[in-house]
A = this chain, B = another copy of it.
Amino acid sequence: MSQSMRRMIFWFEYGSTYTYLTVARIDALAAQAGVVVDWRPFLLGPLLKDRGMAQGPFLGNPPKLDYMWRDLSRRAEAYGLPYRKPSVYPPNTLLTARIGTLAAMQGWCDAFTREVFRLHWTEDIAIGTDDNLRRALTTVGRNPEEVMVAAQSDANKQLLRAATDAAEAMGLFGSPSFTIGDELFWGDDRLEDALAFAQSSGRTTAGQV
């Protein structure tokens, strides 16, 4: 079989808790499945706001929020992932998403994002803080000062806005989400299903934003 590589877009919001599970798992699973993953940060807040929702499903629903933390710690344990409940929730993710967008253009979004989430979820160095960003950038061999300037350029800001608009147009409503063509899968629970679909769907062209 000499088909082109199967591709899947991984859409994510840095402030999404369940996205930690996916960020920590997706590389090994995608490699097993022979699927190339395009990491695509977007902002969930503006997308929800456009649909008349002030926030995600957890903040206005304390029992659901309590359950989320319990469920996350159980899933992390089941997957053998390190887990420490972060003290900051929700984090402010705008600058991180801008850097992730720049990183996706330059090919280092996966490594950067893994480190951002690792710091947040295992060392309680909160996503969005200067400490989190500088450490993650340094770990992946980038110069924090240079990256922060480039990430705040008008062109890069516009790129993140365009990714968010594209997510909205595709009917995304949460993170993590996975698309193969116009087929959508939502949630870390559907990561394996999405990869199986990508694998079985033959040559697929990843959407361009």
Q: Is B63 a contact of A173 with CB atoms below 8 Å?
A: yes
- In the complex, which range does the number of interface residues on chain A fall in? 20 to 34
In the assembled complex, how far is the CB of residue A60 from the closest CB belonging to chain B, in whole angstroms? 7
Query: What residues of chain B lie closer than 8 Å to A189, measured between beta carbons?
Result: 189
Q: Specify the chain B residue showing the minimal Cβ separation from A188.
A: B189
Q: Tell me whether A74 is interfacial, beta carbon within 8 Å.
A: yes
Q: Tell me whether A141 is interfacial, beta carbon within 8 Å.
A: no
Known: A70-B184, A74-B193. A57 touches B60 (CB 8 A): no
The number of times this chain is found in the oligomer is 2
Measured CA separation A174–B63 after assembly (Å) = 10
In the assembled complex, how far is the CB of residue A119 from the closest CB belonging to chain B, in whole angstroms? 28
Contact string, A36-66, partner B, CB cutoff 8 A, digits 1/0? Answer: 0000000000000001110001001111101
Q: Is A67 a contact of B193 with CB atoms below 8 Å?
A: no
Q: Tell me whether A78 is interfacial, beta carbon within 8 Å.
A: yes
Specify which of A60, A63, A174, A189 lies most central, judged by the most chain B CB atoms within 10 Å of its CB: A63
Partner of A186, one of B52, B71, B184, B185: B71
